[in-house]
Structure 1
Amino acid sequence: MRQNPERRAALVDAAIEVLARQGSRGLTFRAVDTEAAVPNGTASNYFTNRDDLLNQVARRTRERLSPDASALAGTMEAPPSRDLVVRLLHDLVGRMREDRSSYLAMMELRLEGTRRPELQAMLTEVFSNNVQEGIRFHLGAGLPGDRTTVLLLYLAMSGFIVDDLTVPDVLAPFPLDDLIAGLVDRTLPPPAAE
């Protein structure tokens, strides 16, 4: 197997674009080579098989979808509050819209995981870790709510993201600011009386 990290990353990024545009049926080594503008056969030199490529895509989408550490640190300078939760959810939507391909590729991986037990096991681990990290982050930052609150926000935002990516006209009549504010108002406990 080839070890050039930059070439491997470019191939995985190309695979994300192929998955987003063509779905898992379109994800072939040849399609990845074409998307990455490299000679035919290059991807097969970097990945032992399709499962290896899918696993690398899952890891890379997680990297691409994670918030920028310095931007997040700046956001977290605000006091922990419902308003900060609203801002964090808006940031999530912004990342999703900026890197639509990664979210679509991850949706394709989820579907593919229903047919590939090894991929499903890996995705279960990735998403379980994401949920636990989200809970630790939320509680550690002193944001309002508890573990269940974080899980409910995760589930609601996951549903929002699926609709926004696949059938955006369903949500078009509902302003994003109102949706997120309503979600936070109905999910988080009211502020304690002073």
Structure 2
Amino acid sequence: MARNTERRAALVDAAVAVLAREGARGLTFRAVDAEAAVPVGTASNYFTDRDDLLNQVDSHLHRRLAPVPAVLARLLEAPRDRALVLEFMRDLVARAIRDRTGYLALFEMRLEATRRPALRASYTASVRGDLEQAMEFHRDAGLPGGDPTVAVLYLAVLGLLLEHLTLPGVLEGVLPGVAVPDALLERIVTTIVPEDRAGDGNSDRA
């Protein structure tokens, strides 16, 4: 297989764009070549098959959508309370909005995983790994609440992103006076995350 890492990265980014715009059915090597503006047949030199391409997209998106280390370091200078959890969630939502294409591709990956057993197994492991990493980060940072808090927060914010990035009109105006996504995100965090600090004896980790 070809080993030009820059060309491979460009092809994977092109695959992300195609996946977000056309859905999984439109993700062909020819479509990736066209999106990347490279000669026909280039993608087939870098990926063994469609499953390989989808796995590469998964790995690439996890790096592309990851938080910026400097931003995490700055946020961690603040007190470890519910307000800090809200700031982390604001950063997550802001990254999703900035890279809407990347997040739409993630949603398409979920749908495609329901149809392809091999992808379902690998993508389940990938997403579960992210959730477990988030739980570990929450614990190590001493943030309020425990693993169940993180799990419920994950589900709530995932739902918010799904609506806001795909059908924003569903939530707009339904809750008068509640701005989407900012005020709604704050409501989610306030509802789910306890005020106490983790380790103060009121954690729901168990």
Tell me how far 1:111 sits from its aligned partner.
0.6
1:64-90 Cα shifts (integer Å, max 9, x gaps)? 111011121111111111111111111
Equivalent AA in structure 2 for residue 189 of structure 1: P
* CA–CA distance in structure 1, aligned partners of residues 195 and 19 of structure 2: 42
> Are 2:33 and 2:41, in contact at CA under 8 Å, matched by a contact in 1?
yes
Equivalent AA in structure 2 for residue 171 of structure 1: L
Tell me how far 1:103 sits from its aligned partner.
0.7
Aligned to 1:4: 4
> Are 2:149 and 2:193, in contact at CA under 8 Å, matched by a contact in 1?
yes
Q: Cα RMSD between the aligned structures?
A: 1.3
Aligned to 1:124: 124
* CA–CA distance in structure 2, aligned partners of residues 76 and 23 of structure 1: 37
Tell me how far 1:33 sits from its aligned partner.
0.5
Question: Of Structure 1 and Structure 2, which has the larger fraction of its residues in helix?
Answer: 1
Tell me how far 1:163 sits from its aligned partner.
0.5
Matched, 1:179 2:184: yes
Q: How many pairs align?
A: 193
Which residues of structure 2 form unaligned runs of 5+?
A: 201-206
**Worse-matched range after superposition: 112-121 or 71-80:** 71-80
Matched, 1:84 2:84: yes
Tell me how far 1:170 sits from its aligned partner.
1.4
Runs of 4+ in 1 over 6 A off after TM superposition: none
Aligned residue runs from structure 1 range 34-183, under 5 A: 34-173=34-173, 174-175=178-179, 176-183=181-188
* CA–CA distance in structure 2, aligned partners of residues 10 and 100 of structure 1: 18
1:136-175 Cα shifts (integer Å, max 9, x gaps)? 0011101111110000000001111111111101122331
Aligned to 2:203: none
* CA–CA distance in structure 2, aligned partners of residues 62 and 131 of structure 1: 12
The 3-state SS of whatever aligns with 1:70 is: helix
Which residues of structure 1 form unaligned runs of 5+?
A: none
